[in-house]
Amino acid sequence: MTDFKSGFISIVGRPNAGKSTLINQLVNQKIAIISNKPQTTRDAIIGVVTEDNYQLIFIDTPGIHKPKHELGSRMNRVSYAHFHGVDVIYYIMDVSEAFGRGDLFVIEKLKGSHIPVILVLNKIDQVSNDHILQRIVEVQEHLDFKEVVPISALKDDNVDRLIDVTLNYLDDGVMYYPKDTVSAYPEQFIIAEIIREKILALTQEEIPHSVAVAIERIVKKKNAVVISALIMVERSSQKGIIIGKGGALLKKIGEQARLELETIMGQPVFLETYVRVETNWRNKSRLLNQLGYIETEYE
């Protein structure tokens, strides 16, 4: 297989920059949950794109932020870990937001990496061309990016150009995954993320960062899949909010998640959800490990 290129690309940036929207657009399928609430992505999510002449493995990382608990610190360290051991880094920036200290913090971290960094200016559909040019000048004063590619991940504007530019930084390679692979994550992870996405969409500010989902049981029968999921919150008041009056909100969460899971699995799904209070779970290492938020060594 001559002239076949492959490589690993980290997608890093601040919360709500559009990292998950971009990876879903790149693989032409929803593999990362999307929410307008910050810090939706809590772990690195892998998406694979394979064409006749290349295979690109994209890694969507949590938004880098000022942590308020151990979970937030672990999320940041997951992102920092993917500044290393890859072939290319996309630093994705919401060009419609002001350039500030949070961006400078990430850029300072990127200066310690020897990996080629491409500046991806996202949400160009929301600003003028003059604004985009001004932002390019402003950001390049702080880091000499290998390339600058303005895009709209939501509108699929210039995303093909981003792939073309990326291939210039990859060597002839091997196929790491079978050609029909889109995501490299276990089934339990995908199911838990879909349920968590529905909770994010249907609840208010008090809930999103205080909730986790653990899949406790998956039973595959001849004509259906039976799933049992635990929703974990930090306070009794949050449990009441998620359950809702007469169990109405929990039922709605389950219905929306079940419909999406049936589309993915191609057969009926019976989804059982229940809610448990686990005080301060975001600072408990044992629970974080059980939920899959593995510790990394990077700071």
How far apart are the C-alpha atoms of 199 and 189, rounded to whole Å?
Answer: 15
3 annotated ligand-binding residue: no
Q: Is 100 annotated as a binding residue?
A: no
- The reply, when asked if residue 14 is annotated as ligand binding, is yes
Q: Is 237 annotated as a binding residue?
A: no
- Residue for token pair 């290998």: 146
User: If we measure between CA atoms, which residue out of 208, 216, 209 comes closest to residue 192?
Assistant: 216
For 219, counting Cβ atoms within 10 Å of its Cβ (0-12 exposed, 13-18 middle, 19+ buried), the class is exposed
Q: Is 115 annotated as a binding residue?
A: no
Ligand-binding site membership of 62 (annotated): yes
Q: Is 125 annotated as a binding residue?
A: yes
Return the amino acid letter for 50. T
Q: How far is it, in rounded angstroms, from Cα 219 to Cα 157?
A: 41
13 annotated among ligand-binding-site residues: yes
Does 92 show up as a binding residue in the annotation?
no
d(CA 31, CA 24) in angstroms, rounded, equals: 6
Treating both helix axes as pointing N-terminal to C-terminal, what angle do 19-27 and 159-167 enclose, rounded to 10 degrees? Answer: 80
Determine if residue 243 is labeled as part of a ligand binding site: no
Helix residue spans in the chain (DSSP H):
19-27, 70-81, 101-110, 129-140, 159-167, 187-202, 236-243, 248-265, 285-290
The structure tokens 């394979």 sit at 50
Nearest-angstrom CA–CA distance, 79 and 15: 11
11 annotated to bind ligand: no
Annotation-wise, does 17 bind a ligand?
yes
Q: Please check if 217 is assigned to a binding site.
A: no
Residues in binding site for GTP: 13-20, 60-64, 122-125
Residues in binding site: 13-20, 60-64, 122-125
